[in-house]
Amino acid sequence: MPGRARHRPERGGEEGAAVVEFTLVTVVLVVLFLAILQLALALYVRNTLVAAATEGARYAANANRGGADGVARAHEVAAEALGDRFAQDIQAAQAVVDGVPTVVVEIRATLPLVGLVGPGRALVVRGHAIDEDG
């Protein structure tokens, strides 16, 4: 019948709801992904600095080496992996741990909270090695 209006099924006012739901879910997933990525970056920086401090301590603990050699080695390793910004505040010292002479190399650096930016001197890592000269 040509004069009769077509009847459309009612959608209950949900037109466009899929687009809104997709947008909301996408925003949550992107934020979650970025948070996981930032955590991975912070752990990478921390683990790399621990490795640099340990390498510096081992190098300084070798016979005929000193704390300055260990600091230079730790700086070299950290700067190569992360850049000079993370290899600024490095110190070496002698310590006695459980009666054993030990070399301790300490690195103070920025903890990356947003990208590679974060509060200064918030991350402190130490590397220890038995002193061969001791």
How do the domains of the chain map onto residue ranges?
17-130
Q: What is the rounded distance in angstroms from the CA atom of residue 22 to the CA atom of residue 66?
A: 60
Confidence of residue 9 (pLDDT cuts 50, 70, 90): low
* Predicted local confidence at residue 56, as pLDDT: 96
Of the candidates 70, 26, 60, 57, the residue with the CA atom closest to the CA atom of residue 127 = 57
Q: Residue 30's CB: how many other CB atoms inside 10 A?
A: 10
* Predicted local confidence at residue 1, as pLDDT: 55
pLDDT tens-digit series, residues 31-56: 999 989 988 988 999 999 999 999 99
Whether the model pTM is above 0.75: yes
pLDDT tens-digit series, residues 88-129: 899 999 999 899 999 999 999 988 877 777 776 688 999 999
Q: What is the rounded distance in angstroms from the CA atom of residue 103 to the CA atom of residue 78?
A: 18
Whether the predicted pLDDT of 28 surpasses 70: yes
- Put the strands of the sheet holding 100-109 in their side by side order: 89-97, 100-109, 123-130
Q: Residue 104's CB: how many other CB atoms inside 10 A?
A: 22
Give yes or no for a contact between 133 and 107, defined as CB atoms under 8 angstroms apart: no
* Predicted local confidence at residue 114, as pLDDT: 78
* Predicted local confidence at residue 80, as pLDDT: 95
Q: What is the rounded distance in angstroms from the CA atom of residue 133 to the CA atom of residue 68?
A: 15
